[in-house]
Amino acid sequence: MSVFRASNNNPSKPRDPYQINQSSGIPDGPTEKLGDKKTRPRRNWALLLVAGLALFALNVAAVAVFVAWRSSQAARAVAEHPPAAPGPAGGSYDVTYAQEPLKVQVGCSAVLFLDLDEPRSNAEEKASDLRYDSRCGTGVPNLTLGPGATAGAQVQGSDTDAAGCDRAIRTAPLGPGATVAVRKGAVLCVLTAGTPAKMALVEITEVGTTGTAGMRATSWKVGG
């Protein structure tokens, strides 16, 4: 007995080129890579992103270099041209007298007052800016601030200017009751309480016998 098997080769029905081969699981028709069209745009966007990040990093580095350069230029300018020290309350200074000699001549254990606004030796006590106390024998005379002085400081050099005096008074002032030995070369800065206030630089130029001393003073008017 013969068995009739229907043939799939039907000449009247065209064959689907994409019909999957049942035995291999692979389409009979032409194929293409499914990932090609999707991978290429993603790769392009990745390249653009990397390029953008690199450009951004380059800009940041350039800005940092510029800021560092400007900072170094500013620091160099400050080092070469330091700003002048401000006076009291941000004031300025005008010379009122320069290298004015003052002579002190008193007896043993005597007191003499000096007014630095004029300047004047042997001034009234209430208007005085410095008090000179002589000593007997080998004792060294002393200078102290008078009632007319606002503040004072001892400095190292006679070439100190008004701004240097102001700085010394701010950083190393003479405290209440402090004295300065009257010795040749000693230098004092004194800020007076006059109107207008004056900054005076007093240098001891000579020390003689008991009660005798020579000084010279320079004064600046303190302006606001």
Strand-pair partners of 142: 133, 181
Question: With 90 as the cut, is the pLDDT of residue 73 above it?
Answer: no
CA distance 175 to 21: 110
pLDDT at 39: 55
Q: What is the pLDDT of residue 179?
A: 96
Lowest mean pLDDT among 76-80, 119-123, 130-134: 76-80
| pLDDT tens readout for residues 159-205 | 999 999 999 999 999 999 899 999 999 999 999 998 889 999 999 99
Q: What contacts 135, CB < 8 A, 6 or more positions away?
A: 108, 109, 141, 142, 210
Predicted pLDDT of residue 113 = 97
pLDDT computed for residue 3 by the predictor: 45
Residues 177, 142 contacting (CB under 8 angstroms): no
The Cα 67–Cα 14 span in angstroms is 77
For 106-131, what is each residue's pLDDT tens digit? 998 999 999 999 999 999 999 999 99
Mean per-residue pLDDT of the chain: 80
Within 13 Å of residue 10, how many CA atoms lie on the same side as its CB? 8
- Examine the pLDDT at 88 and tell me if it is beyond 60: no
Give residue limits of the domains in the chain: 34-83, 88-223
Judge contact between 160 and 201, C-beta under 8 A.
Answer: yes
